[in-house]
Amino acid sequence: MSEIYNRVALIGLGLIASSMAYAMRRDGLARTITGTARSRETRDIVREIGFCDEVFDTAAEAVKDADLVVLAVPIGAMEALAREIAPHLKAGATVTDVGSVKRAVIDAVGPNLPNTVHFIPGHPLAGTEHSGPRSGFAELFENRWCILVPPEDGDAEAVSRLRALWEGMGSHVEMMEVDHHDLALAVTSHCPHLIAYTMVGVADDLRRVTDSEVIKYSAAGFRDFTRIAASDPTMWRDVFLNNKEATLEILGRFTEELFALQRAIRTGDGDHLFDYFTRTRAIRRGIIEAGQDTDAPNFGRGKAK
C-alpha cells in the first residue's frame, strides 16, 4: 500500500484514533502522524506508547501543515474544537470526523471551518467496549464498513483520497445521505446500545438477585448486553443527545412491539411468540452470509469440534 497523506493529525487519542494510527503505520498510508488530546495524562501515555510521531499539547499545533485532520472526540466537543483549529488549518486540507451521528456534527463543525478546507464527515462502524489510547489495534477496521457523508458539492478528489485511506485500513466504504445515516444507525447501533444499558441497569437494581449471581450466570444471554453496555459513557451520552429524533422514534416502535410481546406472554399466546421468534432468526442468517459475523458454534471460545 502506498502513502495517501503526507501528514495526518489525530485530534482525540482514544480507541478509534489509536487504531487508525496503528493501521496507517502498518500499511504506510501516512508519512507523519501527529496527535493531541485534551488530557495531559492521555498525551503522556501516547508519548510513551509511541503510535504518533509527535504529540502536541494543543490542537492548534497538531493540525499545522496537516493534509488530513481527523476529529475523534465526543460529539459534544466538536464545535469548540472546530473553532479552535479553524485558523490553523492548511489551505486544501481535508477535515473528517469519526462521530456516530452525522447531522449534529455537520451543524457543529461545518459553519466553523474555513472555505479553503474540504470537510468530509465520516463514521467507521467499528468499536469495542474499550476506550482510551491503550485500547487501539490495527485490525479494528478490517472488513468493517465506513460511511462517508460528503457534501453534495464536495471535492471529488478529496473524497476519493479519504475513501482510499479507509480502504487501505481494511474497511468497505459507503456513501450515504446524512439523515438516512442517522436513522439507519439509530436502528442498528444507538437503540441497541440504549436497550443494553437499560437491561444491565435493571439487573443491577434488582436487590433480590445479587450482583454476583448476575455476573456468574451472564453466559445465558446477558453477557452480550454487558459488552455493549460497557462502551464509553461520554461518547454515548453525546450520541443520544445529538441523534434525539431518530433514537426516540425507534424507541417508540420498540416499546410498542415489546408491549405486544408482553401481552402475548401474559395471555399465553404461544403462536404470536413462535412466529415472532422465527422471523428474527432469518435476519441473523443474513448477517452471517454478509460476513459481518462468524457462524462458529462456540463463538471462537475454545476449540470447536
Q: Does 218 bind a second copy (CB under 8 A)?
A: yes
Which span sits near a second copy by CB under 8 A: 6-14, 28-36, 107-115, 139-147?
A: 139-147
CA distances from 150 to 164, 177, 220 (A): 14, 8, 42
Interaction residues for a second copy, span 24-63 (CB under 8 A): none
Q: Does 203 bind a second copy (CB under 8 A)?
A: yes
Q: List the one residue out of 236, 243, 237, 235 whose CA is nearest residue 107.
A: 243
CB of 40 to a second copy, least distance (A): 22
Q: Does 152 bind a second copy (CB under 8 A)?
A: no
Q: Does 255 bind a second copy (CB under 8 A)?
A: yes
Helix (H, G, I), strand (E, B) or coil at 269: coil
The count of residues interacting with a second copy (CB under 8 A) is: 117
CB of 147 to a second copy, least distance (A): 8
CB of 162 to a second copy, least distance (A): 19
Which span sits near a second copy by CB under 8 A: 32-40, 64-72, 82-90, 242-250?
A: 242-250
| Burial letters 103-136, b for 16+ CB under 10 A, else e | bbbbebbeebbeeebbbbbbbbbbbeeebbbebb
In this structure, are residues 146 and 123 in contact, taking their beta carbons and an 8 Å threshold?
yes
In this structure, are residues 146 and 119 in contact, taking their beta carbons and an 8 Å threshold?
no
Q: Identify the residue whose cell numbers are 480507541.
A: 15
Nearer to a second copy, 40 or 305 (CB): 305
CB of 98 to a second copy, least distance (A): 12
Nearer to a second copy, 91 or 283 (CB): 283
How many whole angstroms separate alpha carbon 210 and alpha carbon 203?
9
92 Rama class: left (phi>0) / alpha (psi -120 to 50) / beta? left
In this structure, are residues 168 and 50 in contact, taking their beta carbons and an 8 Å threshold?
no
How many whole angstroms separate alpha carbon 240 and alpha carbon 236?
6
Which span sits near a second copy by CB under 8 A: 4-12, 58-66, 103-111, 292-300?
A: 292-300
Q: Does 77 bind a second copy (CB under 8 A)?
A: no
Q: Which of 60, 77, 125, 164 binds a second copy (CB under 8 A)?
A: 125
Q: Does 115 bind a second copy (CB under 8 A)?
A: no
Q: Does 84 bind a second copy (CB under 8 A)?
A: no
Nearer to a second copy, 51 or 56 (CB): 51
